[in-house]
Structure 1
């Protein structure tokens, strides 16, 4: 059994020391923010499909793809988290489907950030060719490649799982709660997952950093629109921050493994609950909040959609007072 799997087993065993009230409190601490963030993300997704300018602009299409993946990943993570809190143990096939879908959408985010960074690089460094390079067709091809590459990773993990002797198990019922670490049924799966994670985030970091440096160099050119270059630099810097937040989820299990050597099981469970909200839930909503507030085209439409319920409740009250 790997150290990561052992850590998850210890956390699961620690759940039995939690009282009903504490389980309820921690469940609410994660479920309430998750529901709020899901509402914001879904509203943002609806906003990006509400007007033709959003549906026909490459950067908004890429943003929709990023938000869609983050929203699905956040929903799946919360489902798996609640099942762990409620001590629901699944069978391996069902857990595999949920965990693989969560991993698929998790890989989409850094790859989409790379494509979005390249789009900003072309807009600043090749402004005259931007409309010919960044077309609807090329954007669709880029999104297809992102999903195909991520799906290839999932297919590879499934193939590695097939080598595990499931027939030797007494039952397909899992002994621990469902997560991606529980599916590391052999050393090859864990080694492959680590290698792919390092390759993915390393390549994404190099790509985004390179485009940021290229835009900085272009910004010094007299022929470059200074305001556009400055805005692109800020956007690329934002992409680096988002990539760092996505990368933070990969250190989740190593931190818990290290802490498990120094704290009790119940303390470890409490730390896990806090880390889950800060590392998994909160970063998945940042894209909606940042882009929704920062982009002057999206902001008024998003605010209108978020506040429409309030407006509907205020208007009748005014009418009643005037009569």
Structure 2
């Protein structure tokens, strides 16, 4: 009877674990699907009008959304694999994490470029059209993706230095994540140094742009309304930067929490942190610009509502 009781209890725990995992799977997948739909709709909006395609700040916004959306897709895929407890081989996991890091670096760099563009628009309004051109914007975005690619090439070279031939199999024992692919002390040291340099440099540029806008706002030759909007936008860029780079401390934070919390509590907190740190920052750009920008908002709402609202349809059309 005691053995039967233990067997029933074990079966109940397994059933409860499966139900919990399925619930988490469904909720997180539904949230990611909503965010992807909003991001995709905003990206379609930015390509649907010539005023968006020919304006530099909207081109930068499209690049930011593209990077965030791609990052969201890869992170959601890795999260679902971890929920289902599916392990991958090192080459497959390495490919996914390299792609995730490519987009993860381009997002904060694009935020830096957007901050500089807003600073130029307020501090040098007469020269803004000559400096911020379609050609210069394209070259800047090419530089952003080049830096991201070079960073990933360095990570790949350090990864290839790991003695994979000494492993019995290329099948991973741990779940695939960015942290598990930091094999060796050189990879970890390089990754920490690059993330620290990226965060400090990006923060300094955005803060400097913010200070420049404040100084220009006190000048009588600068429009107070445009300076105020630019200042608020730069503050949002700084918040976006912090949230975007918070994903770099996501895995170390999980390791620290795993050491001090019970496993059942850790599993539930893990899912909450994933939504807060990974999912939410990836949809923040669409929420900020889709709702704040007076030019984008009516068109975006028209597409989101499938043009069922006559007033919105009339405005967006």
- Taking structure 1 as the reference length, what is the TM-score of the superposition? 0.90
User: How far off is 1:254 after superposition?
Assistant: 2.7
Give ranges in structure 1 of 5+ residues lacking alignment: 1-15, 316-323
User: What are the superposed Cα offsets for residues 203-245 of structure 1, whole Å, 9 maximum, x if unpaired?
Assistant: 0000000000011001111111111111111111110111111
> 2: distance between equivalents of 1:162 and 1:287?
35
Q: Secondary structure at the match of 1:127?
A: coil
Matched, 1:218 2:219: no
CA-CA distance at 1:283 after TM superposition: 1.3
Q: What are the Cα deviations for residues 86-144 of structure 1, in whole angstroms up to 9, with x where unaligned?
A: 12111111111111101110111110000000101111111111111000000000000
CA distance in 2: counterparts of 1:198 and 1:61, whole angstroms: 28
The whole-number CA distance in structure 2 between the counterparts of 1:109 and 1:17 is 41
Residue number in structure 2 paired with 1:108: 106
Partner of 2:6: none
1:9-44 Cα offsets, whole Å, 9 max, x none, are xxxxxxx89711010011122111100000000000
In 1, Cα distance between the equivalents of 2:81 and 2:308?
A: 34
- Whether 1:20 and 2:14 are equivalent positions in the alignment is no
Counterpart-to-counterpart distance in 1, 2:104 and 2:16:
30
- What is the aligned partner in structure 1 of residue 83 from structure 2? 85
Q: 1:301 aligns with which of 299, 302, 310?
A: 299
RMSD of the TM alignment (CA)?
1.7
Q: Is the 8 A contact 1:123 1:130 kept in 2?
A: yes
TM-score normalised by the chain length of structure 2: 0.91
- 1:289-316, Cα deviation, whole Å (9 max, x unpaired): 110010000000000000016559xx9x
Higher RCO (CA < 8 A, seq sep 6+): 1
1:206 paired to 2:204: yes
Question: Number of matched residues?
Answer: 299
> Aligned equivalents of 2:87 and 2:307: distance in 1?
39
Structure 2: unaligned runs, 5 residues or longer: 1-13
Q: Deviations over 1:273-293 (max 9, x none)?
A: 110011100111111011001
| Aligned twin of 1:173 | 171
More divergent stretch after superposition (303-312 vs 200-209): 303-312
Aligned runs of 1:51-200 on 2, under 5 Å?
A: 51-200=49-198
Could you tell which deviates more after superposition, 142-151 or 303-312? 303-312
Distance 2:300 2:264 in 1: 41
Cα pair 1:41 1:71 within 8 Å, conserved:
yes
CA distance in 1, matches of 2:93, 2:139: 31
Distance apart, 1:255 and its partner CA: 2.3
- How far apart, in 1, do the equivalents of 2:150 and 2:284 lie? 28
Supply the distance in 2 between the matched residues of 1:127 and 1:263 (Cα, whole angstroms).
Answer: 54
Separation in 2, partners of 1:133, 1:74: 32
Match of 1:290 in 2: 288
Report the alpha carbon displacement of residue 266 of structure 1 after superposing the two structures with TM.
2.4
